[in-house]
Amino acid sequence: MTTVDFNFADVCCGAHGLSILLTGIKDDKEHKVLFDTGPHSAIFLENAKRLEIEFEKIEVIVLSHWHIDHSGGMLAAVERCQHAREQQKQQQQSTSPVVVDLHPDRPDERGVCLTRPSPPGSTVSEPIEYVAWGKDPSFSALESAGGKVSKNAKAHTICDSFFGVSGTIPRKTTYETGIPNHVRWSESTKTWSAEQEIMDERYLVARVRSKGLVVLTGCSHAGVINVCQDVKRAFGGGNKKDEDIFFVVGGFHLAGGSMETRIQETVKDMKEINPTYMAPGHCSGWRAKSALENAMTGQVVSLGVGSDFFITHQQN
Ligand SMILES: [Zn+2]
Ligand SMILES: [Zn+2]
């Protein structure tokens, strides 16, 4: 019997945010896409080092939406992709810059408006203060870091059609009405304005043969049911049998008092959609996770920093 060391200094570190590396393999072809980059560069780089990420192989970085907990590590990610490519060039290998796939509607800044009941105990609330979340990386900063910015508001495919990126997610359900208290800063008017719906949010999708659609959702500001319904419509190819969702992973945004009222209806509709598996994380909230697990036992899997999922085609 041999003994191996396990160094707890090498485990990943958690933070409020999301970043998922997606690898697609078909025959002898492989494509890698990075979906979001977490809240800041230090945590992104530390975790990337521990996970031994091959930055030279990342072809596209897709940002789900302009919120700093998803874009905060993006400049560092682009820099690392560029650095890895420069090393490749020294070995005479041809490289092309990493593509940074972004929604064109970049806000000057986003944040939340904190409120309190007024008078105390009532359901009417008055604003107390704005909390600014910091500026997302700019298009020019991402270009300067070596990225090739690609602005897309409409649904499109990337990496030789291995993956799809959605356009605007239609808001169809009656109860998924955005997030109260979200606000957007305007540099020109120096004012905050209410922005309940984060309309620039997009999801990433892939199809795994014999399994179904695999959906990566950033925060589900559109509502995770709206996300799933749009995936089926936009990427189901018009065939009922191709609309099956195998896996939904990411933020379901059902945490917090104002969002938890939607859990019951979400669970009811999720049962209809019936994905084979779900991995709610990030902003999903423990009540939503346990409600989904109770209603769809065995279909909810745990998601944490450093999680790995392998989804493979099954030969008959
Ligand atoms: Zn988020
Ligand atoms: Zn968000």
Residues 134-144 have pLDDT tens digits of: 999 999 999 99
How close are the terminal C-alpha atoms of the chain, in Å? 39
All structural domains of the chain:
13-295 (3.60.15.10)
DSSP 54: -
Ligand nearest the Cα atom of residue 201: 2
Instruction: Dump pLDDT digits (tens) for 50-78.
Output: 999 999 999 999 999 999 999 999 999 99
Cβ–Cβ under 8 Å, residues 91 and 85 = no
Instruction: Dump pLDDT digits (tens) for 6-56.
Output: 999 889 999 999 999 999 999 999 999 999 999 999 999 999 999 999 999
Instruction: Dump pLDDT digits (tens) for 263-313.
Output: 999 999 999 999 999 999 999 999 999 999 999 999 999 999 999 999 998
Q: Which residues surround ligand 1, an ion (CB under 5 A)?
A: 69, 219
For position 311, what pLDDT does the model report? 96
DSSP 89: H
Q: What are phi and psi of 153, to 5 degrees?
A: -100, -15
Buried b vs exposed e over 80-103: b needs ≥16 C-beta within 10 Å?
Answer: bbbebbeeeeeeeeeeebbbbbbb
Distance CA 267, CA 296 (A): 9
> What spacing in Å lies between the alpha carbon of 107 and ligand 2's midpoint?
13
Which of the four pLDDT bands, split at 50, 70 and 90, describes residue 240? Answer: confident
Judged against a pLDDT cut of 70, whether residue 316 lies above it is answered with no
For position 208, what pLDDT does the model report? 95
Ligand nearest the Cα atom of residue 112: 2
| Tokens 């979200």 -> residue | 182
Cβ–Cβ under 8 Å, residues 178 and 189 = no
Q: Which residues surround ligand 2, an ion (CB under 5 A)?
A: 67, 219
For position 236, what pLDDT does the model report? 87
Instruction: Dump pLDDT digits (tens) for 78-132.
Output: 999 999 999 988 887 778 999 999 999 999 999 999 988 888 878 788 889 999 9
> What spacing in Å lies between the alpha carbon of 57 and ligand 2's midpoint?
27
Q: Distance of alpha carbon 119 from its chain centroid, rounded?
A: 38
Sign of the torsion angle spanned by Cα atoms 121, 125, 126, 129: positive
Distance CA 223, CA 172 (A): 9
Q: Distance of alpha carbon 205 from its chain centroid, rounded?
A: 11
